[in-house]
Chains A and B, each alone.
Chain A
Amino acid sequence: MAKFNKKPGGEMPEISTASLPDIVFMLLFFFMVATVMRENTLMIQNDLPYADQVEKLDKKDLVMYIYAGKPSENYKQYGNVARIQLNDKFADVNDIAAFIAAERASKREELIPFLTTALKVDKDANMGLIGDIKQELRKQNALKINYTTKKGSVFGRN
Chain B
Amino acid sequence: MAKRAAPEVNAGSMADIAFLLLIFFLVTTTIETDSGINRRLPEIQPDTNEPVVLKQKNIFTVLLNGKDQLLVEDELMELKDLRKAAIEFLDNGGDGSCSYCHGKKDPASSDNPDKAVISLKNERETSYKTYIAVQNELVAAYNVLRDARAQALYGQPFTKMEANLNDVNWPGNKTKLKEQLEKIKVEYPQKLSEVQ
Q: How distant is the Cα of A33 from the Cα of B28 in the complex, in angstroms?
A: 11
What 3 pairs between A and B have smallest CB-CB spacing?
A: A128-B124, A19-B14, A13-B6
Binding site for A on B (CB under 8 A): 1-6, 8-9, 11, 14-15, 18-19, 21-22, 25-26, 29, 31-44, 64, 79-80, 122-129, 131-133, 135-137, 139-140, 143, 162, 166, 196
A13 with B39, Cβ < 8 A, contacts A34-B29, A51-B135, A154-B133 known: no
**Bound state CA distance, A47 and B139, in angstroms?**
22
What chain A residues lie within 8 Å of B37 (beta carbons)? 51, 53-55, 146-147, 149
> With the chains together, A30 CA to B29 CA distance in Å?
9
A57 lies within 8 A of B33 (CB): yes
Asked if A123 is an interface residue, CB under 8 A from chain B, the answer is yes
**Known contacts A125-B127, A146-B36, A49 near B132 by CB under 8 Å:** yes
Stretch at the interface among A72-80, A84-92, A101-109, A133-141: A133-141
Within A6-59, which residues are at the interface with B (CB < 8 Å)?
Answer: 7, 13, 15-16, 18-19, 22-23, 25-26, 29-30, 33-34, 36, 49-58
A binding-site residues for B, Cβ under 8 Å: 2-3, 5, 7, 13, 15-16, 18-19, 22-23, 25-26, 29-30, 33-34, 36, 49-58, 60, 63, 116, 118, 121-128, 130-131, 134-135, 137-139, 141-149, 151, 154-155, 157
Q: Residue of A at shortest CB range from B124?
A: A128
Residues of B within 8 A of A138 (CB): 41-44
Nearest CB of A to B158, in Å: 12
A3, A60, A123: the one contacting B1 at CB < 8 Å is A3
Q: Is the CB–CB distance between B127 and A124 below 8 Å?
A: yes
Q: Is the CB of A36 within 8 A of B36?
A: no
Q: How far is the CB of B140 from chain A (nearest CB, A)?
A: 5
Q: Are B136 and A154 in contact, CB atoms less than 8 angstroms apart?
A: yes
**Docked CA distance A12–B137 (Å):** 66
Query: A148 CA to B34 CA in the complex, in Å?
Result: 7
Taking a contact as CB atoms under 8 Å apart, the answer to whether B36 and A147 are in contact is yes
Are B132 and A143 closer than 8 Å at their CB atoms? Answer: no
Contact across chains for B128 and A124 when beta carbons are under 8 A apart? yes
Give the shortest distance, in Å, between B1 (CB) and chain A (any CB).
7
Cα–Cα, bound, A3→B42 (Å)? 91
CB distance from A106 to the nearest CB of B (A): 20
Q: A13-B5, A53-B143, A116-B38 are in contact. List 16 more A-B contacts (CB 8 A).
A: A15-B9, A18-B14, A22-B15, A22-B18, A22-B19, A30-B25, A49-B129, A49-B133, A51-B133, A53-B140, A55-B162, A118-B36, A125-B128, A142-B41, A145-B39, A149-B136
